[in-house]
Amino acid sequence: MSTYKLMKNEIRMLYNQFKQTITTPSMLLFYGVSFFGVFFVSSVITGLVSFSPILFNFGDLLEDTISAPMIYAATAVFSASSVVSGYFGLGPAAVLTIDDENLMMSAPVKPHQIFLSRYIRRIVRKISFLTLGILAILPLLVSASLLFYSTVFLVIVIIIFLETNYFLGALSSYVRLWISQRTKRRIRHLMVVVLGVLVLLPAHPYLLSRFTALYVAPSNAFALFLIESTGIFAQGESPLYGVILLVIGFTICLLLTANITGYEHYEIYSATRGREETEGRFSRIIHGEVDFSRSRLNDPMLWIMLKDFWSRLRSPMQIWKYIYAVFGTAFVIYLNTIRPAWFPSVTIPPRLAFAVVPAFILMLILFIQMASVTSMLSFVDERENVYMLKASPFRTSDIVLSKYLLSLIEVAIAVIPACGFLIYFIQVGGYLSVVTLAIPLTILFTATGTAVGAYVPVFTNDPKTLPVPLAFSFPIINLGLGALLVLLVAFYSDSVLVLVILPLYTLSLVYCFLAASVHALDTYK
Amino acid sequence: MKPSVTARTDVERMRGEELIRLARVLNIPIFKRTIKRSWLIDELMKELEKRDELSVPPVILESPAIILKKVSKRFGKKTAVRSLDLEVNPGEIVGLVGPNGAGKTTTLRMLTGIIRTTSGFIQVNGHDLKKEPILAKQRVGYIPEKPTCYPSLTAREYVMFTARIYGVPQETALIRMREFVDLFQFDEFIDSYVGTLSKGNLQRALLIGIFSREPPFVLALDEPIYGLDPRGAWNLKKLLRQLRDTGSAILISTHILEVAADLCDRFVIMNEGDIVGRGSYDQLRKQHPEAANLEEIFLNLTGGIPE
Average pLDDT over residues B270-295: 87
Q: B220 — contact with chain A (CB < 8 Å)? A: yes
Residue A447: per-residue pLDDT: 95
Q: Which of A469, A466, A449 is nearest to A457 (CA)?
A: A466
The rounded distance, in Å, linking the Cα atoms of B244 and B223 is: 18
Return the domain boundaries, chain B. 66-139+248-301, 149-215
Predicted confidence (pLDDT) per residue in A95-149, tens digit:
888 888 888 998 999 999 999 999 998 888 888 888 777 887 777 777 766 666 7
Same domain, A107 and A83: yes
Residues A193 and A109 in one domain: yes
Interface test with B, best of A2, A16, A121 (most B CBs within 10 A): A16
User: Which chain B residue shows the shortest CA-CA distance from A462?
Assistant: B195
Check if B166 contacts A (Cβ < 8 Å).
yes
> At which of A229, A246, A276 does a domain end?
A276
Q: Which residue of A has its CA nearest to B111?
A: A106
Q: What SS3 state is found at A430?
A: coil
Query: How many angstroms away from the CA of A491 is the closest CA of chain B?
Result: 47
d(CA A388, nearest CA chain B) in Å: 18
- For residue B69, the SS3 value is strand
DSSP H or E segment with residue B250: strand B249-254
Q: Which residue has the higher pLDDT, A462 or B260?
A: B260
Is residue A2 domain-resident?
no
- Measure B146 CA to nearest chain A CA, in Å: 9
A203 with A343, same domain: the answer is no
- In angstroms, the CA B258 to CA B64 distance is 26
Same domain, yes or no, for A308 and A264? no
Q: Is residue A243 part of a domain?
A: yes
Q: What count of Cα atoms within 13 Å lies in the side-chain half-sphere of residue B54?
A: 5
Cβ A9 vs Cβ A103: under 8 Å = no
Residues of A in contact with B165 (CB under 8 A): 1, 5-6, 104, 107-109
Q: Is B5 on the interface with A (CB under 8 A)?
A: no
Same domain, A441 and A393: yes
pLDDT of A423: 84
Residue B198 pLDDT class (50, 70, 90 cuts): confident
At position B249, the amino acid (one-letter code) is: A
CA dihedral B64, B66, B67, B70 (to 10 degrees): -150
B193 and A108 in contact by Cβ < 8 A?
no
CB pairs under 8 A between A and B: 89
User: Which chain B residues have a beta carbon less than 8 Å from that of A99?
Assistant: 148-151
Beta strand pairing status for B78-88 and B66-75? antiparallel
> What's the one-letter identity of residue A387?
Y
* ipTM field: 0.84
User: Do residues B262 and B274 lie in contact, with contact meaning Cβ atoms separated by under 8 Å?
Assistant: no
Q: Are A173 and A89 in contact (CB under 8 A)?
A: yes
Q: Which architecture does CATH list for B66-139+248-301? A: 3-Layer(aba) Sandwich (3.40)
Interface check B198 vs A, CB under 8 A = no
| B234 at A interface, C-beta within 8 A | no
Strands (DSSP E) found in A269-325: none
Concatenate the DSSP letters of all residues of B109-158 into one string.
Answer: HHHTTSS--SEEEEEETTEETTT-HHHHHTTEEEE-SS----TTSBHHHH
Contact between A5 and B166 using a beta-carbon 8 Å cutoff: no
For the cut 70, the answer to whether the pLDDT of residue B121 exceeds it is yes
Interface contact B138-A108, CB threshold 8 A: yes
Distance, in angstroms, between A149 CA and closest chain B CA? Answer: 31
Nearest CA-CA partner of A371 in A335, A328, A330, A402: A328
Among the three residues A249, A276, A303, which one is the final residue of a domain in this structure? A276
Same domain, A159 and A298: no
Asked whether residue A243 falls in the same domain as residue A308, the answer is no
What's the sign of the alpha-carbon dihedral A448, A454, A459, A460?
A: positive
Give the three-class secondary structure for A285. Answer: helix
DSSP annotation of A436 reads I
pLDDT, position A286: 39
- Note whether B113 contacts A: Cβ–Cβ < 8 A: yes
pLDDT of residue A295: 56
A262: domain range? 57-276
pLDDT tens profile B54-83: 777 778 888 899 999 999 999 888 899 999
**Burial degree of A82 (CB within 10 A; 0-12, 13-18, 19+):** buried
Q: Is A231 left (phi over 0), alpha (psi -120 to 50) or beta?
A: left
Chain A: nearest CA to B115, how far in angstroms?
A: 5
Element (H, E) at B95: strand B92-97
Q: Flag residues of chain A having pLDDT under 50.
A: 277-288
Task: Give the span between the Cα atoms of B226 and A94, in whole angstroms.
Answer: 30
Provide the pLDDT for residue A259: 94
Nearest to A345 by CA among A397, A423, A274: A423
Cβ A267–B195 below 8 Å, yes or no? no
Give A-chain residues touching B137 at CB under 8 angstroms: 106-108
Min Cα separation B139/chain A (Å):
9
- State chain B's mean pLDDT as an integer: 89
Check residue B187 and give its pLDDT: 93
For residue A510, give the H/E element and its range.
Answer: helix A498-522
- B165 and A108 in contact by Cβ < 8 A? yes
Per the document, the length of chain A is 525
* Window B:246-305, CB contacts with A under 8 Å: none
Q: Residue B73: enclosing H or E segment and its boundaries? A: strand B66-75
Q: What is the 3-state secondary structure (H, E, C) of A206-251?
A: HHHHHCHHHHHCHHHHHHHHHHHHHCCCCCCCCHHHHHHHHHHHHH
On whether residue A194 sits in a domain, the answer given is yes
Question: How many Cβ atoms from other residues are within 10 Å of residue B100's Cβ?
Answer: 7
Say yes or no: B125 contacts chain A, CB-CB below 8 A.
no
How much is the CA Rg of chain B, to the nearest whole Å?
21
Contact assessment for residue A445 and residue A494, using Cβ atoms and an 8 Å cutoff: no
User: Within a 10 A sphere around the Cβ of A437, how many other Cβ atoms?
Assistant: 22
Mean pLDDT of B81-101: 92
Same domain, A244 and A352: no
Mutation pick from B110, B116, B165 vs chain A, by most beta carbons of A within 10 Å, is B165
In angstroms, the CA B161 to CA A452 distance is: 33
Question: Are both A270 and A362 inside the same structural domain?
Answer: no
Chain B: nearest CA to A284, how far in angstroms?
Answer: 17
Confirm whether A35 is domain-assigned: no
Longest dimension (CA), chain B: 76
Pair A300, A269 in one domain:
no
Domain co-membership, A184 together with A63:
yes
Domain count for chain A, please give it: 2
Cβ neighbours of A178 (radius 10 Å): 12
Residues A327 and A376 in one domain: yes
